Chain A
Amino acid sequence: MGTSITSWENVSAYFTFADSPILLMLFSLGVAGIVVGLIRFIMKHETKAFDNHK
């Protein structure tokens, strides 16, 4: 379902959904979301840890 190819003859970009820029943009948003989410997660952890040691 996610493949970009139906045959290995003359194949070039072969990663999943390589022929669907919309989906690749969504994956990129997912990457950005994980990085931003990590930083947000750490902020929350820090705030909670700091509060516990007031």
Chain B
Amino acid sequence: MATETPTLESLQASLDAQQAIFNMHQSMNVEVFYWWCTAIMVMIHAGFLAYEMGASRSKNALAAGVKNILALAVIIPTFYLFGWWIYNAFPGGIIPAEASGALPWSQSMGPDVQDMGTGIFWAAFALFGATTGSIMSGAVIERIRVSAFLILTVILGSAVWILAGAWGWHPDGWMLTEMGYHDVGASGVVHAIAGFFTLGVLINLGPRVGKFINGVPQQIRAHNLPMTLIGLMMIIFGFFGFLGGCIIFNGGDTGWTTIYNNPTNLSAFAFNTLMGFAGGVIGCYIATRDPFWTMSGGLVGIISVAAGLDLYDPGLAFIIATCVSFIAVGAAKFLEKKGIDDAVGAVSVHGVTGVVAVILVGVFAGGTPNVGGNPAISLYGQTVCAIVMAVLGFVPGYLVSYILKKFNVLRVPENVEVLGLDEVEILAHPYPESVPAKGNTTESGDLEAKGA
């Protein structure tokens, strides 16, 4: 059988064909990676759902759940309408740059066989936004109007956080290019923003009926603490999608990088994510011995090291997480003493922890160089940016909720709050055969002894 002698041209053609196949597979791998990160992030919302429903009294369980589901449903389309554009248009500050390709009527904002990046990155960012919007959700349970909550969560999840993302995550973001900002796991751009936005809302919303008696804070018990704990664990699961989505999967020979283009990999993230989780749980357990706070400690721990996830020694991450847990618990107690009713501790778990985490990168990783000629990480830069994050979160949260309050559309009427939102608003009952939604709870939420 005769065989053709390969020529230089035929070998080159074969090599080009192989290279094209390799490049296509690289692009597909990028898509596959972020597809699953996005899917895993949906678990965060399953977790928030269980967490908040369990943390509510039974008379508000379904209302808390519906609010949570709708938050996810409105943040996705609004992030499509203007969130993605904000990220691409505002890296320089508050003057928009040209980003017409990110407008919803652009050809790049739809199915395109030649674009294997826009859709999947948009999806991951949309889920980041939904997570940010949902952080506020648990804090305001049992007394906020769903309509007001949805307005606030759209502003937080589809506008405010992504503006912070443009400043602190975008390769041209002014925080990076001028301050050397480092926040790979979103301690600032997601958690600090959401926590301080929530604080602004809580100030105007006010505490639940019965939370403070003569100024003394009362414990309003969760009606299903086991479900809350499982929900928190589901959020931890979802964090792996969230943090995976914070890493850049490059095609070609570059390998993994952070959003700031310095080398990293999933192994680096794995060390410190788990060590942070463990330290947070232990710290919050020691600080409180409370089951809710013990599990919330997992969140505190991860958030406390997320900003420097690529840089910390795992032992250091563990110690940081343990210590920051005490700060988070202390902040929650302080806020309660000041009359803030944060039903799930979101301001301290996300806001205070996020701000501290950003500053700690300056303490423990100050001097680390950035690539591309950007300034090195510094304590000054991290501190300034942490303050910017807190202010950027707080101001719109306070102002918009203040306006809603002035129009009397922020909070449900007191008699409705006492009856329970499920009885008034929801066309279903959470436990129809065992725990009637009406008239079964005292003001502090304890089940009355009715022979059950």
Residues of A within 8 A of B (CB): 11-15, 18-19, 21, 24-25, 27-28, 31-32, 34-35, 38-40, 42-43, 45-46, 49-50, 52-54
Contacts and interface: CB of A to CB of B under 8 A. Distances in A.
Contacts of A38: 70, 74, 150
Contacts of B425: 45-46, 49
Contacts, number: 78
Contact of A18 (B107, B150, B419, B424): B107
A54 B106 CA distance: 49
B151 A14 contact: no
B412 A14 contact: no
Contact of B105 (A25, A39, A40): A25
A39 B151 contact: yes
B419 to A, nearest CB: 6
A13 B150 CA distance: 32
A12 B104 contact: no
B33 interface: no
Nearest to B110: A15
Given A25-B105, A50-B416, A54-B415, A13 B424 contact: no
A13 B108 contact: yes
B367 interface: no
A24 B107 CA distance: 9
Contact of A53 (B108, B145, B416): B416
A21 B105 contact: yes
A53 B423 CA distance: 9
B432 interface: no
B80 A12 contact: no
Q: In which size bucket is the chain B interface?
A: 20 to 34
Interface in B90-140: 104-108, 110-115
Interface string B358-392: 00000000000000000000000000000000000
A50 B418 CA distance: 12
Kindly list the 9 A-B residue pairs having the minimum CB-CB distance in the complex, ordered from nearest: A24-B105, A15-B110, A13-B107, A28-B104, A43-B147, A42-B147, A13-B112, A12-B114, A25-B105
Given A13-B108, A24-B104, 18 more contacts: A13-B110, A13-B111, A15-B110, A18-B107, A18-B110, A21-B105, A24-B105, A27-B105, A32-B81, A34-B77, A39-B147, A39-B151, A40-B147, A42-B147, A46-B147, A46-B412, A49-B416, A53-B416
27 contacts: A11-B113, A12-B113, A12-B114, A12-B115, A13-B111, A19-B107, A24-B105, A24-B106, A27-B104, A27-B105, A28-B104, A31-B81, A31-B104, A32-B81, A34-B77, A35-B77, A35-B154, A38-B70, A39-B74, A42-B70, A42-B150, A46-B146, A46-B425, A49-B416, A49-B424, A49-B425, A54-B413
